[in-house]
Amino acid sequence: MKLQDGSLYFDCNATTPEAPEVAAACALAAREGFANPSSPHAAGRRALALLEEGRAGVAALVGCSPAEVVFTGSATEANHLALLSAARGRPGRRRVVLSGIEHPSVRGAAERLEEEGFHVAEAPVRPEGTVDLEALAALLDEEVAAVSVLTAHNETGVLQPVAAVGALCRATGCLFHTDAVQAAGKVASPWAEARPDYLSLAGHKLFGPKGIGALVVREGAPVTPWLRGGGQEGGRRASTEAVPLAYGFGVACRLAATRLPGAAALAALRDRFEAGSLAPRGAVIFGKEAPRLPNTSFFALPGVDGAALAAALDARGMAVGTGSACHTGSHSPPRVLQWMSAPLPPGGSSVRVSLGRTTSPADLAALAAALEEAVGSLRGAHRDGHALHP
């Protein structure tokens, strides 16, 4: 997708720019909803109305009741609130199970629980990138309080079998959380089919504002607020609500819902790029054999350092990622590839291309041309013995 400065952006799994409609909505809410939504006067009631309209927009995308939506400051906060509430909400159960490929914020919440004396286990992942359901089932018993399996992986884009995971959780009486941050707005919501007790979202992943997330809590699921001192968000998260961000988040969710039918066309665009530009260069495409998000391609090219390739493309006005934006600077293979037992090709490391709602065939044609030039240059430098790292 083309940015205002003319550069091309292919890193939408890291973050997205605010849609124009969202920016306008945030500005309107900042003007009209500046008051505290807990105040009883007219200005407060207007702020409350905008807040609740934003909540309804999030609920419409997820398929839940607005009352089940809790606004948070980020998806990281939502993940912590979910996992800590779920684990503490099953007295007598002292085990928590994650997939091995959860987002670092989920693993961070699990570390908090380990400090409290919980035992945390990680379920292995199959070579195509999906959680091993048989191995997961073997980990579940009446000692498990909570399970967390993400809906779609942020690097590979692989969609996880969350409906089956939800059924396993219900059979053993444990609470189920899914981090749906990458999946929201790209594929159908898992709320009705997988029936998680908790589902996390982030505004900035679907062309909404940064600084706001949401935890969707199914009616009856326990919530132990870790921000206390006020009755906001139904007593589940104390803090004066950020009305402009919440309203903009709701608008972003409504826009995302209208664009879900275009997912197949986006996937076809991605597939043509992989077949025409990556496969001829010997790329290993991770997770290709599994259902994936329609916008995501995670790959490695033989003899090409991923960081060097990203830098070379950046110099040509094109932004791509090298994996999770939460791991910038790491030189070890991505954790997800270690769990998949997926070896990198000789001399290669990972690159992620993630498309946006306005990415066009012309954008990908330009990326393909730049990729050909950059790969040729980097492989030539490698043959000459020059350093590949920028």
Catalytic member of 26, 169, 174, 326: 326
Asked if residues 325 and 334 have their Cβ atoms less than 8 Å apart, the reply is: no
Closest CA to 69 of 278, 253, 340, 227: 253
Sign of CA pseudo-dihedral 132, 213, 327, 313:
positive
Residues 6+ apart with CB under 8 A from 386: none
Distance (Å) of CA 84 to CA 81, 219, 220? 6, 17, 16
Q: Could you confirm whether 253 is annotated as catalytic? A: no
According to DSSP, residue 1 is labeled -
Tokens at residue 157, please? 């884009």
Q: For the chain, give me the number of helices (H) and strands (E)?
A: 13, 12
Residue 142 carries which side chain, given as an amino acid letter?
E
Tokens at residue 189, please? 């919501």
**Residue 47, SS3 per DSSP:** helix
3-state SS, 12-23, equals CCCCCCCCHHHH
| Longest CA–CA separation in the chain, Å | 73
Known catalytic residues are 326
